[in-house]
Amino acid sequence: MSDPAQKPFDRLDYTYKLLVVIAIVIALVILASDILIPIAFAGLLSIVMLPLVKRLERLKFPTALAISIVLLMTVTILGLCIWLIVDQIVGLVNDLPNLQSKFDTFFIQTKKTLTQELGITKVDQLKIKTEVMATVSTYLGSVLVATTNTISVLIQIPIYIFLFLIYRTKFRDFFLGLIGTDQLEWRKDVDRVVQGYISGLFLVTLIIATLNSIGLMIVGIDHAIFFGILSGVLTIIPYVGIIIGALFPVIMALITKDSIWSTVGVIIVFTVVQFLEGNFITPRITGSKVSINALAAIIALLIGGKLLGIAGMILAVPGIGLLKILLSHSRRLSPFVILLGDQNGNERMEEEESTNDAPSDPETNE
């Protein structure tokens, strides 16, 4: 029996308050992006590392030591990957004088083609060259700034991870006291999505890097391992990363190879790998973990990129997956799951069943 003193639900007032909360959250994200980015990455990685920490704790390791061991293992693995990338970069830098001469030859041939075939004057070509060089300089400057910021973030993340894991019981008790014991059903879903997605993402990156490296070596592209690893890392950025990753070896093929078929070969390699990644690799490894449709993922990428740049694009897909879980446990916001999910009617039926099984108190379900 309902409480006669309970106020009727005002949809307009509820929508207004929800929009105000969203606006405040967006403003805070923009203003505090430098603080929130390392915290967000650390939070995701903490959830991924938590099972390993718990396993060591069951083996009677002290909590601080267990966390330190897991962190050390992670940093060691990442350090080896970075060492491999740096070794490839050193080889590329040592080859720059040779690449410079080949680029000059390529540029002269391109100028002749533009003049003879397309009728573009030397003055127009000089303007195009100036604009291209200015764009490249601006891009390299932004990359340098981004690299400096990335180093700062990478230093902060292990510290936050250690603190999140060692104080995890405090966070659990806080949420228990804030929303009640029976309202933490979504916690297991969050753990499942984050652990599955992040671990799957590392596996996808490794597979893509290996396939691209092998393909580029078969085509005969110089520094194939570096470009393969780079393209694999860039696949972290959905949809856009694979295109950026393909651009560099295509340019390398145009500059260093006399035949156009080498460039065609690079394009074929990346097209085949992209087909395998989009239709078989990612759906089987990470697709089932997040279950977000393409439209929602693209919009999330655009919003994440607008708010937080590249870091926002990386965080966008797991972030929208977590948002979907939280929305599915809210009685009034659960219809948004229909827009985010990728299984049409079946997923909605499953979410309705889980919602019906949950407590129906209109205040706590919000």
Q: Give residue 300's pLDDT.
A: 83
Residues in the chain: 366
Neighbours of 144 (CB within 10 A): 10
Question: Residue 192 — left, alpha, or beta (φ > 0 → left; ψ -120 to 50 → alpha)?
Answer: alpha
d(CA 211, CA 272): 10
pLDDT value, residue 214: 93
pLDDT along the chain (366 residues), means of 10: 56 79 86 87 86 90 92 87 76 68 66 61 62 59 56 82 90 70 61 73 86 91 85 75 83 80 89 84 66 77 83 81 77 79 52 46 41
Output the CA–CA distances (angstroms, integers) from residue 139 to 57, 100, 248, 306, 307, in the order listed: 47, 19, 14, 17, 19
The confidence score (pLDDT) of residue 127 equals 67
What does the pLDDT read at residue 88?
A: 73
Amino acid identity at 88: Q
pLDDT at 35: 87
- Do 340 and 296 meet the contact criterion of CB atoms below 8 Å apart? yes
* pLDDT given for residue 347 in this prediction: 45
What's the half-sphere exposure (Cβ side, CA atoms, 13 Å) at 301?
Answer: 14
What are the counts of helices (DSSP H) followed by strands (DSSP E) for the chain?
A: 15, 0
The residue type of 57 is E
**Phi and psi at residue 292, to the nearest 5°:** -110, 135
Q: How confident is the model over 85-129, as pLDDT tens digits?
A: 777 777 777 766 666 666 666 666 666 665 665 556 666 656 666
Residue 354 has a pLDDT of 45
Q: Cβ atoms within 10 A of the Cβ of 208, count?
A: 28
Contact predicate 293/340, CB 8 Å: yes
The domain limits of the chain are 10-114+150-165, 199-286, 292-366
Phi, psi of 282 (to 5 degrees): -65, -45
In this prediction the pTM is 0.64
* 236 φ/ψ angles, rounded to the nearest 5 degrees: -60, -30
Distance of CA 299 to the CA centre of its chain: 14
**What is the per-residue pLDDT for 68?**
93
